[in-house]
Chain A
Amino acid sequence: MYNRFFTLHGVVMVFLFIIPSIPASLANFALPMMLGAKDVAFPRINLMSFYLWCAGAVLGISSMVLGAVDTGWTFYTPYSTTTDGSVGLMVMAAFILGFSSIFTGLNFIATVHKLRAPGMGFFDMPLFVWGIYATGIIQILATPVLAITLVLLLIERTFQIGIFDSRIGGDPVLFQHFFWFYSHPAVYIMIVPGMAIISELIPTFSRKTMFGYRAIAYSSVSLALLSFIVWGHHMFVAGESDLANVIFSALTFLVAIPSGVKVFNWLSTMYKGNITFETPMLYALSFLFLFAIGGLTGIFFSTLSVDIHLTDTYFVVAHFHYVMMGSTVIAFIGGVHYWWPKMTGKMYSETWGRIGCLLVFIGFNMTFGSQFIMGGQGMPRRYFNYLDQFQPIHAFSTYGSWVLGAGLFMTAINLLASLKIGKQAPDNPWGGTTLEWQSSSPPITHNFEEQPVLEHEPYDYRHRTVTHV
């Protein structure tokens, strides 16, 4: 039962929520507007991507009723080819969701290339667009490998053709290679859009030109490229050769460079800026704090000797929740607050938004910060039972999750309530300089009354007097 629940949690959160969250929702709204376009390049493919997501969601959730899957979201062979339960259904759901993701990425890349406003070169685009562009590259190049892997898994499970089954000449580790060749880049499909949002929030609420614009743009793309050559670090203890381990370890350290470039550029942007603390900015600051922890603990795992000690402990769980939840989801919520007035034309309550953010931040750190301590002491992941010594920390972590839940609940209520009782939002509530703020709130069907023309750099606060609401 426990195994089924964490599998469901993993699959739903990874494939149904985090991967599509920022690109398919916020970017779908903001990206064409930031480029001054009427729509994405292929609106019908976009719609199909949404239908596929729905189909995948129905399949995935129905597998819960028709024999829940207990393999973990990674579907490792040989267990996934032999266990009972509707692995086939779940795998098909992931396959379909993969195509949804591919279509989204394809659409954005084509849009960025062909639908920029007159006068907008690649280095005049907002950094959010750069991040989504980099994400699109990963979605297009990595997801097909997952697709074929899942097809092979399905055929293996149904017909026993012996590609992953060592009893008939296959290789279960081959599955792990295939899987992580997608799923490591998938981690960047999740985090790069989060960073992209932060790159909008920080200059807007610091009212300052982005420090190191090009460096951030390049770091998004280099993260996309690096993501393809580090998959082996998920398999340090799966019997890779020492040489392969050393190479993957060294390559993995490289990831710290573009990540560090981004963080330091954000901080430099804030330096001597005119900072105000609206709800989106509070989320951006939370992101900086949580991503720093999530990112730095990642380095523990690229260090081979430390990795062996920490593999499959709560330390891993805490690390990836700091990156996935603490960074991506926090950035997502920040982005929702940032574009909410533009999307709905309503202002939410700033006070409740801030309290919600505070609760989320505290609750999150209680829940997952404590798991670093347990992991370091050897609490293994994926066990429902534990030694008595871990009892107090487990309890603390659970209380934290309640605080976190309360914060998220409050945020949701605040946003939904604004639809009813919120004040009419002005066109540019934050004093943003990117193109989407030139349109009305909410925008008309074709986004702009007339084709906007780019007249200044994306974060040009020097020549503008920004009136702040």
Chain B
Amino acid sequence: MSTSTVDLHPEHPHGPGPHGDAGAHEHDPRQQHHFTTMEQQFDTSKIGMWLFLATEVLTFGGLFAGFGLMQNRYPQEFVEAHEQLQRLAGALNTVVLLVSSFTMVMGVQAARNNQPKKTARYLWLTVACAGIFMVVKAYEYTHKFEEGLLPGVFYHHHGDLIAGSHGYATFFSFYFMMTGLHGLHVLIGMILLSWLAIRAKRGEFSDKYYTPVDLVGLFWHLVDMIWIYLFPLYYLIT
């Protein structure tokens, strides 16, 4: 019964229905049948998103805990291994993502101020920043692959960090797991943002309804924030 999806979008294409059930209030077609008001629907969606973000934090939290444990076990190796990372590329990516967070905020702001073109422009800008991030990341990954700085059994670096301790390989295990999972989130974010930008161009968002922009915005800020933690953790260990 509560898994019924039949009447999720009661269609009222011509305004209030023939039975006058919408009464004096105009019934927004985007309002789902089990909510009393659009505000209630918006707040509920927002709670749902925050709860989802909590699960994201816990997912990464497991990896952070594992990293901390292994850093404790191989402190020297982790410091040596981190010197192989390109600090400048990491710093550049941090700036890029911070800028993208700003453009995201501006996009949400434009959506609730009824400025569809401006919304689309800011959302595409955010996608562009995410794209730059991925390009830089790809460049960094290529470098690691060429140097043989790889996880577990694939580790075959012949430069400064010749095996002898497992610490180096473990460092790169976590590096690839965590930045990889984060990169996947950036990719998903890019898809969501592009979808929003197209919808925004069509004028689907206004001060009455901008829930998707707001929620993807929250998601995007979380993705940025995780990088804000990843950057010092990996690139700035001492």
| Residues in chain A within 8 A of chain B (CB atoms) | 28-29, 32, 37-47, 50, 102, 105-107, 109-110, 113-115, 140-145, 147-149, 152, 155-156, 159-163, 165, 168-171, 174, 178, 181, 443, 445-447, 451
Contacts and interface: CB of A to CB of B under 8 A. Distances in A.
Interface residues of B, number: 48
Contact of A109 (B34, B51, B58, B152): B51
B211 interface: no
Contact of B173 (A107, A113, A163, A446): A163
A181 B58 CA distance: 11
B167 A144 contact: no
Contact of A163 (B47, B55, B170): B170
A145 B61 contact: yes
Given A143-B55, A145-B58, A114 B177 contact: no
B151 interface: yes
Nearest to A442: B1
B59 A145 contact: yes
B166 A169 contact: yes
A289 B66 CA distance: 41
Main SS at interface, chain A: helix
A283 B6 CA distance: 36
B62 A162 contact: no
B163 to A, nearest CB: 10
A445 B173 contact: no
A109 B69 CA distance: 33
Contact of A148 (B2, B51, B62, B74): B62
Nearest to B32: A43
Given A140-B54, A145-B59, A162-B153, A44 B5 contact: yes
Contact of A141 (B4, B5, B58, B165): B58
Contact of B3 (A47, A141, A148, A165): A47
Interface in B140-193: 151-154, 165-167, 169-170, 173-174, 176-177
Main SS at interface, chain B: helix
Contact of B5 (A38, A47, A160, A170): A47
B196 to A, nearest CB: 19
Contacts of B63: 148
B133 to A, nearest CB: 22
Nearest to B44: A114
Contacts of A38: 33-34
Contact of A162 (B52, B59, B69, B173): B173
A50 B170 contact: no
A36 to B, nearest CB: 11
Q: Which of A109, A149, A162 has the most CB atoms of chain B within a 10 A radius of its CB?
A: A162
Contacts of A106: 48, 51-52, 55
Contacts of B167: 169
A41 B48 contact: yes
Contacts of A170: 166, 170, 173
Given A38-B34, A113-B47, A43 B4 contact: yes
A114 B33 contact: no
Given A113-B47, A178-B66, A446-B33, A144 B169 contact: no
Contacts of A110: 44, 47-48, 51
Interface in B1-30: 1-8
Given A106-B48, A144-B56, A148-B59, A39 B177 contact: no
A113 B41 CA distance: 12
B223 to A, nearest CB: 15
A29 B48 contact: no
A113 B44 CA distance: 8
11 contacts: A28-B2, A41-B44, A43-B2, A45-B48, A110-B47, A143-B55, A152-B66, A163-B177, A165-B152, A168-B152, A445-B7
10 closest pairs, A vs B, by CB? Answer: A169-B166, A162-B152, A161-B152, A38-B34, A161-B151, A144-B58, A39-B34, A144-B59, A114-B44, A148-B62
B86 interface: no
Contacts of A105: 51
B185 to A, nearest CB: 13
A168 B167 CA distance: 9
Nearest to A43: B5
Given A38-B33, A50-B3, A171-B69, A159 B54 contact: no
Contacts of A44: 5, 8
B79 to A, nearest CB: 16
Interface in B36-87: 36, 40, 43-44, 47-48, 51-52, 54-56, 58-63, 65-66, 69-70, 73-74
A21 to B, nearest CB: 16
Contacts of B153: 159-162, 168
A50 B1 CA distance: 12
A134 to B, nearest CB: 14
A115 B173 contact: no
B4 to A, nearest CB: 7
